[in-house]
Structure 1
């Protein structure tokens, strides 16, 4: 007697439901965007705070003297060029000799600083001498002395040597003042130069001046531009030594600005116009070399 077996169909296993998603924890997307925008907002706010005095000076320079001296200030006063006409007119003291003196002292001292700082930075970075760190800190220590502390010895030296009211005395002073800063900046830039580049130039028979100015110089051109611009600005804006050590022949532009403060009062519109006109060379140099300045100041910051 045969038995018939009925085939059984296997039941598929029950599907397990997917695990429930946990609620997202952390900061929502919108607060994250707000937090990321805070540094940018603070940077813009700080920039505006520093720019407001400049904007106020520019606006005041185009006002009449009576409107500039009003209290509260007359922001909607009519604009005029009278202050600029008086500044560049030949009725009073001409601004061109002080401007030429400032340009001569700034350019000459900057050129001397580069000629002296580039070999020194080369010796302290690419070809370091023994105790080069001590030399670097010695350069930096010269900037720790307040400028007013050396004013009397320098005045006596200039008086005894007949260098009072001489523009070349300011050139020497500005060179010595900016040289430590230039050495420190150029040393950090030259430290990024590959040694193989210099070794290849030496194999080709290049001497030290050729290596400095034709091999290393183009490589660190942004650093040289940044150093030159900073030294130029420091020399152009210096007033303490120029005020004490110069008179009529070697008067510089910052000293010339003090002539607008008279016993009759302070002429705000004329001072603002003169300040803007004297600041234009520095602003033009900074605008023309802004790309090199940013590259130079950020050189070596990102490895």
Structure 2
């Protein structure tokens, strides 16, 4: 009888531990979710209700913050900054993938001599603080006439995200069976065909995950865009800082602008969430 009840008794502490871990996970999720929920709620309040102390949780909801953000009658329109951010993010992400995929192929499938040192060199480029290279980049942009130019941001975002993309794609391509590549080469396929028609479909989730991360990093970048752009190439994060003025902090408009500017990233993440999960877990289970 005791032998039959022993597994039941042993399972009780495990169930309590699982319940405690689940509760802790829910609490952690709520801690991270509450600021986002507060931002969304504030965006639907008037300026008076948003600035009230204590916060007016039951205040009437309004779309005034979004109307003020998209209103073009005051001379400030969000569309050019949004287009600039989209152009810089998409162009740099495409360029990063175009350069990172052959580099990852050379490091994972056809490893060059000292390929580990090459990977650590890529990683070492991310150890320099961004602000340390800001002055030389500014002087270069000024002397070449590229200040306030969105294509300068494309080049900077490409160089910023390329090491991360090479690292990620190298780990994904290391899982590709070499026999598949050798079979394609025996059929006469050259490197561009192997990369585009053989390897890319196999590691498509990894490519999607890499592209999404590079897109998010480019979309959210502020320091370079703040210093190197003015009116013509202003990006969405720079436009967002314009709601903090000497007249005060417009919390409702700022919250509405933050939500509106975050929507493209949220939409991209939602559309590619299955590929993102597959890509980030690729190779985790043998």
Both structures adopt the same fold (TM-score exceeding 0.5): yes
Q: Secondary structure at the match of 1:165?
A: coil
Query: Which residue pairs with 2:32 in the alignment?
Result: 50
Q: Gaps (5+ residues) in structure 2?
A: none
CA distance in 2, matches of 1:216, 1:123: 13
Distance 2:10 2:123 in 1: 49
Aligned mates of 1:213, 1:25 — CA distance in 2: 54
In the alignment, what sits opposite 1:178?
Answer: 161
> For residues 235 and 177 of structure 1, what CA distance do their matches in structure 2 show?
9
Match of 1:74 among 56, 59, 63: 56
> 1:280 matched to which residue of 2?
263
Distance 2:2 2:15 in 1: 25
2:87 to 104, 111, 115: 104
Aligned equivalents of 1:103 and 1:298: distance in 2? 28
Question: How far did 1:170 drift?
Answer: 0.3
Give the structure 2 partner of residue 228 of structure 1.
Answer: 211
The residue number in structure 2 matching 1:254 is: 237
Mean CA deviation greater in 141-150 or 31-40:
31-40
C-alpha RMSD over aligned residues: 1.3
User: 1:169 aligns to what?
Assistant: 152
Provide the rounded CA distance (Å) in 1 between the counterparts of 2:6 and 2:191. 65
Q: CA deviation at 1:41?
A: 1.9
- Whole-angstrom CA distance in 2 between matches of 1:194 and 1:40: 38
Residues of 1 paired with 2:91 and 2:153: CA distance? 10
Query: Could you say if the C-alpha distance between residues 78 and 194 of structure 1 is closer, same or farther in structure 2, counting changes exceeding 3 Å?
Result: same
Secondary structure of 1:113's counterpart equals: helix
Unmatched segments (≥5 aa) in structure 1? 1-19
Q: 1:245 aligns with which of 201, 205, 228?
A: 228
Shift of residue 42, structure 1, vs aligned partner: 1.9
1:25 deviation in Å?
Answer: 8.6
Q: Which structure's residues are more often helix, by fraction? A: 2
Q: Secondary structure in 1 aligned to 2:230? A: coil
CA deviation profile, 1:119-164 (whole Å, cap 9, x unmatched) = 0000000000101011000000000011010001100110111010
TM-score, normalising length from structure 2? 0.97
**1:47 CA drift (Å):** 1.4
Distance 1:24 1:293 in 2: 43
What is the TM-score of this pair, normalised by structure 1? 0.91
Give the Cα separation in 1 of the matches to 2:102 and 2:96: 10
Match of 2:126 in 1: 143
Structure ID, larger Rg: 1
Provide the rounded CA distance (Å) in 1 between the counterparts of 2:115 and 2:213: 24
